[in-house]
Amino acid sequence: MSAPDDLRSELAELARQARAWVEWVADSGVDELPRATEAPSAARQPVVEQPPVTAPSEDASPATQPPVAVAPRPPKQARAVTPKPAAPRRAAPSIDVPDTPAARAARLAELADEVSGCTKCGLHETRQNTVFGRGSPAAKLVFVSEGPGANEDAQGVPFVGKAGQLLDRMIAAMGYQRDEVYICNVVKCRPPRNRKPEPDEMAACLPYLHEQLALLEPQVIVCLGATGVEGLLGSSMGITRMRGTWKLYRGRIPLMPTFHPAYLLRQPEKKREVWDDLQQVMKRLGMDPKAKSQRSGEDGD
């Protein structure tokens, strides 16, 4: 490609990013440009930004955090700082993670099929469809939310309603294509009237999510709202206190809690904080928010 072509495609990419950002803040009332990630808010991050500083609660009840051991695979890339594994405190049944990406993708599809016939909790009685997940089995970034709503139940796909459109804009503003990331929920069936899933429903469904994450082995997990953090880490702290602070899933995978897109639809001024959180995530993934072209060519593993 000639130099002018390079320049043109870089300008097109910058324009695409700017458009994604403008769409994301369109109704937020936020009128300033994003800060550089090198200057994180001192108020929220008084200590060091990396590596992740908060370990998951090991005291989580077995109902919300069943012990699972996953055979470690070599990291996909050396760029991200990999936190040291936490010493396991108890014997854990292991999830069998196939060696190859193709075999992991096949197991993911098989698991989705198993979930489609699941009757482990009462939620199956009122569902139209199970909602397993969407996105790339090779995703480095996985979003975990609470559970499907009415649109998702009708279509069998997560985040297809208004909150989903906002999430898609968040993903685009980060510089990702919609299907480059992976999106899933703690429970795979819609709780009636969109209520929070009950502890027994979460406990019944969580083994699916743990296996899903073991097969995906993302570099970063973003929890949208408190329920994802509660399911994965057993922490019941409010999302307002947790957001913006790194946690660890299974002692290894950095996890960033942030606000749920449905909350942002009601409180658009909170997008500013979510964008701060997502910038931390981009940085952790080795993406400089100011130079997204870095990322090209790195997605094929």
Give contact residues for ligand URA (rule: CB under 6 A). Answer: 131, 145-149, 152, 158-159, 163, 185, 262
Cβ of residue 146: shortest distance to ligand URA, in angstroms? 4
Q: Is 1 exposed, middle or buried (0-12, 13-18, 19+ CB in 10 A)?
A: exposed
Of the candidates 109, 99, 102, 107, the one whose C-alpha atom is nearest the C-alpha of residue 72 is 99
Rounding to the nearest 10 degrees, give the CA dihedral for residues 299, 231, 254, 104: -30
Closer to ligand URA at the Cβ: 172 or 287?
172
Name the minimum Å distance from CB 232 to ligand URA.
14
Q: To the nearest whole angstrom, how small is the minimum distance from the Cβ of residue 203 to ligand URA?
A: 18
Burial class (CB in 10 A: 0-12, 13-18, 19+), 259: buried
Of 147 and 175, nearer to ligand URA (C-beta) is 147
Judged by CB, which is closer to ligand URA: 129, or 293?
Answer: 129
From the number of C-beta atoms within 10 Å of its C-beta (0-12, 13-18, 19+), residue 207 rates as: middle
| Residue number, 233 or 287, with CB nearest to ligand URA | 233
As a whole number of angstroms, the distance between CA 123 and CA 83 comes to: 36
CB of 265 to ligand URA, least distance (A): 11
Nearer Cβ to ligand URA, position 80 or 262? 262
CA angle 130, 136, 140 (to 5 degrees): 120
- Closer residue to ligand URA (CB): 52 or 133: 133
Tell me the closest approach of the beta carbon of residue 133 to ligand URA, in angstroms. Answer: 9
Answer for the pair 154, 113: CB distance below 8 angstroms, yes or no.
Answer: no
- With beta carbons less than 8 A apart as the criterion, state whether 129 and 154 touch: yes
| Parallel, antiparallel or unpaired: strands 182-185 and 247-249 | unpaired
Q: How far is the CB of 246 from ligand URA (least distance, A)?
A: 21
